[in-house]
Amino acid sequence: MWQLIRNAQIYTPERSEAHDLLIVDERVAAIGNDLSFPPYVEGLVFDLHGQRIVPGFIDAHVHICGGGGEAGPSSRTPEIQLSQLTRAGTTTVVGCLGTDAVSHSMEELLIKARALEKEGLTTFVYSGAYQATRTLMADLRLDLVLIDKVIGAGEIAISDHRSAQPQIAELERLAAEARVGGMLGGKAGIVHLHLGEGKKGIEPIRRILEETEIPIIQFMPTHMNRTSFLLEQALEHLKAGGNVDLTAGCDDFPEERQVPHVLYLLAQRKLLNDRVTVTSDGNGSMPQYNDHGELVGMGIGSVRVLWRDIREAVKRYNLPLEVALRTITSNPALVLKLPQKGLIRLGFDADLVALDANLDIQHVWARGKLMVRNGQPLVWGQYEKALSESY
């Protein structure tokens, strides 16, 4: 399949002087001006009339097979559906388990990732849950070396009353396994750590960095805008060369801890570098606890908040589009070592999102396949459309 996109403002995520883009099968085959098909080819032409075309979004923290469970069986969240992700502009997703590794399993997570990839997306998973011992094989190293979709350990919980309260020695061993397994498997071997509201924050990471030879980039702490204390730790962690992941969609947070303002803050302090990522925590439960750790409310996370918050950073805080885009395109591709992802570049996967003048998502291509057109899904998951029509 040959496709030609014309008259677009191309962001790679950097602003390009080119306006045309040629897709052959799943890859970007040419970028330039006044492109055309060879005389022997008939293909599809899309005239974007000046719309922006940007890399497909990488959401590196989504509970694809469901999450939740903190309020009993009825509080488990359902599996995510294909069109929820594509309408959000997400073309690459990393799945994770959460609190509930009893009714959800690594096997279920892996199968769901394979299903979404069969339906058109690119998918990966973290091995583990809030409890680090939930692996597919005997240990994390084997998962990283022998299972293609496993790219790291996660979502391992620390500084949280729901965590397994891992000791420093356990985290050291996990990080060491991730380091060696990643090297042997040719992967990032990232340790994706869930940060709760506990008083220690990322102190366990600091201890490991001080006492071992494990490099700082082996860790990817998430929810770092959860509290003011964590946000201050995030700034110091960035200064030291570490990765920091922010969670979108935190509308109940004060403005200064919501993603749009945090990105503005980081830019002002010249800390908005290629180690800053934003994820949605999509499809996970959103429990609210009181000061005694008692559950007082429950919601479900949306993957659509990822672009919503990045868009808000551009429109409200005047962050340059190319700068904001990096946090959900080239930056996660770099941190997670995802080849051919995160950039519009020759030979890279044709993962693309077209944005209108208001920066709303109009069209989405995943590995060269048009998944969403004019904001509406063209491709549905195996059962989702049938289910929606059965009621």
pLDDT at site 296:
73
pLDDT at site 346:
97
- Number of Cβ within 10 Å of residue 345's Cβ equals 14
- Residue range(s) occupied by CATH 3.20.20.140 in the chain: 61-335
| Assigned CATH class of 2-54+341-377 | mainly beta
Q: Please state which CATH number belongs to domain 61-335.
A: 3.20.20.140
pTM: 0.95
Stated length of the chain: 391
* CB-based contact 209:244 (threshold 8 Å): no
pLDDT at site 289:
66
pLDDT at site 378:
96
- Number of Cβ within 10 Å of residue 346's Cβ equals 11
pLDDT at site 390:
59
Report the C-alpha gap between 62 and 60 in whole angstroms: 7
E runs forming strands in the chain: 2-6, 9-10, 20-24, 27-32, 44-47, 52-55, 57-62, 90-95, 122-127, 150-158, 190-195, 219-222, 244-247, 276-279, 288-289, 295-297, 352-355, 361-366, 369-373, 376-377
- Residue range(s) occupied by CATH 2.30.40.10 in the chain: 2-54+341-377
pLDDT at site 226:
95
Q: Which residues are catalytic?
A: 281
pLDDT at site 299:
75
Collect the ranges in the chain with pLDDT lower than 50: none
pLDDT at site 276:
98
What number of H helices and E strands is found in the chain? 11, 20
Bond preceding residue 155 cis, omega within 30 of 0 = yes
> Which of 268, 267, 212, 210 has its CA nearest to residue 240?
210
pLDDT at site 391:
56
> Which of 231, 294, 236 has its CA nearest to residue 70?
294
* CB-based contact 260:317 (threshold 8 Å): yes
pLDDT at site 291:
73
pLDDT at site 67:
82
